[in-house]
Structure 1
Amino acid sequence: MGGANGKSGHRVWRNARLATMVDGAAGLGIVEKGAIAARDGLIVYAGPEADMPVAAGQGAETVDCAGRWITPGLIDCHTHLVYAGNRANEFEMRLAGATYEEVARAGGGIVSSVKSLRAASEDKLVAETLPRLDALLAEGVTTVEVKSGYGLDADNEKKSLRAARRLADERPVTVRTTCLAAHALPPEAKGDKNAFIDLVADTILPQVAAEKLADAVDGFCEGIAFSPEQMARVFDKAKALGLPVKLHADQLSNLHGAALAA
């Protein structure tokens, strides 16, 4: 409803259909011929237009919605919005029947995105991410969760999270960041998953927490990624740092990882 800083001065949207999302099982809480009044970024009235207090709309800029819907802002709770480049070269593999796992084992997927992100500057990441964010905002998203996970070392994970934090300075959106350092094994780990998990727990997470770059910690618990035992090590550290946890699990294999995050 506002400009780049989320403020809108004093404005009234009238002749609208409102979805108020009232408590209980009453559906959408639809208000026909509704109105919303906002002043300095705060909603001061929402309900039937005929019942709106005079003071709520006095002197306001008025927008005639012509019967269109106004709904609460949407929350996109799981995105990998910050990345560089693309995976277009994998498209033919998928069309030919290659599975996600087969693409990953061939060096594509996450590892492919890691190379592109590491080569990109923080400013470039922000610039490439903004159009993707704009597409979400155009669909009504007002809060978005953004994961890292394409850096896979301390400097690049922090770069990704800083870029995500900066999105809220560029657009009227609430951003929540998640450190997904335990997303895949980087090439320099040379196949040693336990050593990489030690790096995540002992180096990456403490640095991310110290700089207040993440609101939560995520991981990838699958046969092609990390075991429940390895993810438990990451989660123990996250909790010790005061960070809540979430998990990608049981999509490609049945390791009972979901129980770890429950």
Structure 2
Amino acid sequence: MKIMRVLSAAAVAGTLAAAPAHAVEPTLRGSPSSMVRQHEVAKASDYSFLRDAAEVKRLAEAGYLQRVKPTDDFRLANVSHPYARPEVVTFIERLSAQYREACNERLVVTSLTRPVGNQPSNAHKLSVHPAGMAVDLRISRDADCRAWLEGTLLALESRSVLDVTRERNPPHYHIAVFPGAYSAYLARVGGTSAPAQFASAPRPRRASLEEEPASTRIPPTRSKPAAAAARMVATPGGDDDSGVLAVLTVCVLVSIAFAGRKRRARRA
């Protein structure tokens, strides 16, 4: 367990160190400025802050919100309004497929669009849940899975496509997806960029963190760590080298940890 804690810390530290200079420093702590940023993105996207269930239904019928349907990769837990902006739906589907491949467990979504009338008493006044651009995820009990997910989310935050906070009361990850930036990111890595295509986009391949281009993708966790490390060294340069290195570092560390755990299990 001590080794796992060291690996988890190293994975997050590597992601932080490799963040692009122009990006907001990735952190799970959250801050008043991050809430202001999320709120400003919602306003710039011309999103309505929904007041009640009737308004949620109206936007869903108009196509501005999409229903979030559980899959083999994620489930919903006590979600009052299972709707979100199309970009958020795509984000959940892609992330959950990769998470299940890495951790062999499903993501658990605990909140999506939450109108002002259904906000909890401790909700921030600038919360973007009423705008439909936020998703809350349950925190896994498995340390390896927490390390994988946190490293992935921090790497994406370093690219300024989302803002993530690890909340304490109740414990969960709050994620605000920035629609324009996320669409541009998908276009760069070969995903779908046009909102109208999100609903029919093909299921992503279960690959590396948020599916980097094939030339930078590392093998699944069952591959030898040495091969993964060799591919990291051989990765060609580019504008996103720092972010790619962070993603690969997280994957390699988790791969080593998983392989060690399997060897110990076989010896037992």
TM-score w.r.t. the length of structure 2 is: 0.23
Query: Which structure features the higher share of helix residues?
Result: 2
Bigger Rg over Cα: 1
TM-score w.r.t. the length of structure 1 is: 0.23
Higher relative CO (CA 8 A, sep ≥ 6), structure 1 or 2? 2
